[in-house]
């Protein structure tokens, strides 16, 4: 019983923590416009896999992305 309660408490804590750290989905219209060409150019194969996958792709291609998109990533602590 104690183990089940502990596991449930840890699961709820982890879920709440993850939700609190979730950034605004997709960014503002201006931010999306700044990064759209880079996503199309460098991350086309993962465009439909979600924001975190796209973010990972942009980070992996950091030396190749535009200064505008790089500034967006930096403004979000990436």
| Residue ranges with strand state E in the chain | none
Q: How many CB atoms lie within 10 A of CB 57?
A: 19
pTM of the model: 0.65
What ranges do the domains of the chain cover? 28-78
Return the DSSP state at 49: S
Over residues 5-18, the pLDDT tens digits come to: 434 444 444 444 44
Nearest to 58 by CA among 27, 29, 22: 27
34, 69 contact by CB (below 8 A): yes
Nearest to 36 by CA among 23, 49, 47: 47
Over residues 53-76, the pLDDT tens digits come to: 999 999 999 999 999 999 999 999
């Amino acid at each position: 019983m104690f183990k089940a309660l502990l596991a449930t408490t840890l699961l709820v804590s982890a879920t709440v923590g993850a939700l609190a750290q979730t950034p605004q989905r997709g960014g503002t219209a201006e931010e999306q416009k700044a990064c759209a060409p880079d996503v199309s150019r460098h991350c086309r194969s993962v465009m439909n896999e979600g924001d975190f996958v796209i973010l990972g792709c942009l980070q992996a291609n950091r030396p190749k992305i535009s200064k505008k998109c790089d500034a967006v990533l930096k403004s979000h602590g990436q």
